[in-house]
Chain A
Amino acid sequence: MSLSTFRFGDGNPQYDAQGRLRHLLNTEGLREPEMLQILDTAESFLSIAQRSVKKTPTLRGKTIVNLFFENSTRTRSTFELAAKRLSADVLNIAVSTSSTSKGESLIDTVDNLMAMQVDGFVIRHPEAGAAHLIARHLGDSALVINAGDGQHAHPTQALLDVFTIRRLAGPIEDRVVAIVGDVLHSRVARSQIHALSILGCPEIRVIGPQTLVPKELSALGVHVYHDLQAGLRGVDVICALRLQKERMESHRLPSLDEFHRRFGLTPERLQWAQPDALVLHPGPMNRGVEIASEVADGHQAVILQQVAHGLAVRMAVLTLLAGAAGGGENHA
Chain B
Amino acid sequence: MNADWDVTTLLEGMVRDLRPRVDPEQTAMIGIFTGGVWIAQALHRALGLKTALGQLDISFYRDDFSQIGLHPQVRASDIPFAVDGRSIILVDDVLYTGRTIRAAMNEIFDYGRPASILLAVLVDRGGHEVPVAADIAALRLNGAAGGQIKLRGPDPLRLELLTSPRTAS
Q: Are A58 and B68 within 8 A (Cβ)?
A: no
Among B68, B69, B72, B76, the residue within 8 A (CB) of A44 is: B76
- The smallest beta-carbon distance between B127 and chain A, in angstroms, is 22
CB-CB contacts of A19-47 with B at 8 A, as 1s and 0s? 00000000000000000010011011111
Asked if A324 is an interface residue, CB under 8 A from chain B, the answer is yes
Q: Decide: A57 near B106, CB < 8 A? Known: A51-B111, A52-B112, A327-B67.
A: yes
Among B60, B67, B78, the residue within 8 A (CB) of A326 is: B67
Interface residues of B in 131-169 (CB under 8 A from A): 169
Asked if B57 is an interface residue, CB under 8 A from chain A, the answer is yes
Asked if A139 is an interface residue, CB under 8 A from chain B, the answer is no
Chain B residue, CB-CB nearest to A43: B76
Q: Are B110 and A53 within 8 A (Cβ)?
A: yes
Q: Which residues of B contact A324 (CB under 8 A)?
A: 69
Chain B residue, CB-CB nearest to A20: B69
Q: Are A326 and B69 within 8 A (Cβ)?
A: yes
Asked if B130 is an interface residue, CB under 8 A from chain A, the answer is no
How many residues on the A side are at the interface (Cβ–Cβ under 8 A)?
Answer: 32
- The smallest beta-carbon distance between A82 and chain B, in angstroms, is 13
Asked if B66 is an interface residue, CB under 8 A from chain A, the answer is yes
Q: Are A328 and B69 within 8 A (Cβ)?
A: yes
Q: Are A56 and B70 within 8 A (Cβ)?
A: no
- The smallest beta-carbon distance between B5 and chain A, in angstroms, is 28
- State the CA gap A43–B73 with chains docked (Å): 11
Q: Decide: A56 near B76, CB < 8 A? Known: A41-B70, A328-B70, A329-B68.
A: no
Asked if B74 is an interface residue, CB under 8 A from chain A, the answer is yes
Among B66, B73, B107, the residue within 8 A (CB) of A62 is: B66
Q: Decide: A52 near B110, CB < 8 A? Known: A44-B57, A58-B65.
A: yes
Q: Decide: A329 near B69, CB < 8 A? Known: A52-B112, A57-B61, A58-B60.
A: yes
- The smallest beta-carbon distance between B86 and chain A, in angstroms, is 13
Q: Are B67 and A328 within 8 A (Cβ)?
A: yes
Number of A-B contacts (CB under 8 A): 80
Q: Are A44 and B60 within 8 A (Cβ)?
A: yes
- State the CA gap A61–B111 with chains docked (Å): 22
Asked if B75 is an interface residue, CB under 8 A from chain A, the answer is yes
Chain A residue, CB-CB nearest to B59: A44
Asked if B71 is an interface residue, CB under 8 A from chain A, the answer is yes
CB-CB contacts of B52-89 with A at 8 A, as 1s and 0s? 00000101110001111111111111100000000000
- State the CA gap A323–B169 with chains docked (Å): 15
- The smallest beta-carbon distance between A324 and chain B, in angstroms, is 6
- The smallest beta-carbon distance between B116 and chain A, in angstroms, is 18
Q: Are A53 and B60 within 8 A (Cβ)?
A: no
Q: Decide: A326 near B65, CB < 8 A? Known: A44-B57, A47-B78, A332-B71.
A: yes
Q: Which residues of A contact B61 (CB under 8 A)?
A: 56-58
- State the CA gap A48–B59 with chains docked (Å): 13
Asked if A260 is an interface residue, CB under 8 A from chain B, the answer is no
- State the CA gap A61–B63 with chains docked (Å): 12
Among B74, B77, B106, B111, the residue within 8 A (CB) of A52 is: B111
Interface residues of A in 139-159 (CB under 8 A from B): none
Q: Are A322 and B66 within 8 A (Cβ)?
A: yes
- State the CA gap A48–B79 with chains docked (Å): 11
Asked if A330 is an interface residue, CB under 8 A from chain B, the answer is yes
Q: Which residues of B contact A320 (CB under 8 A)?
A: 69-70
Asked if A331 is an interface residue, CB under 8 A from chain B, the answer is yes
Q: Which residues of A contact B68 (CB under 8 A)?
A: 323, 326, 328-329, 332
Asked if A247 is an interface residue, CB under 8 A from chain B, the answer is no
- State the CA gap A332–B70 with chains docked (Å): 9
Name 28 A/B residue pairs within 8 A (Cβ), A-sorted: A40-B73, A40-B74, A41-B70, A41-B74, A44-B77, A47-B76, A51-B111, A53-B109, A53-B110, A56-B60, A56-B107, A56-B110, A57-B60, A57-B61, A57-B106, A61-B66, A320-B69, A322-B66, A322-B69, A323-B66, A323-B68, A324-B69, A326-B68, A327-B67, A328-B65, A328-B66, A328-B67, A332-B169
Closest CB pairs A-B (n = 9): A328-B69, A323-B69, A53-B110, A56-B60, A323-B70, A326-B66, A44-B76, A330-B69, A58-B60
Instruction: List 16 additional A-B contacts (Cβ < 8 Å) besides A322-B69, A330-B72.
Output: A40-B73, A44-B59, A44-B74, A51-B110, A51-B111, A52-B112, A56-B60, A57-B60, A57-B61, A323-B68, A324-B69, A326-B66, A329-B69, A331-B72, A332-B69, A332-B72
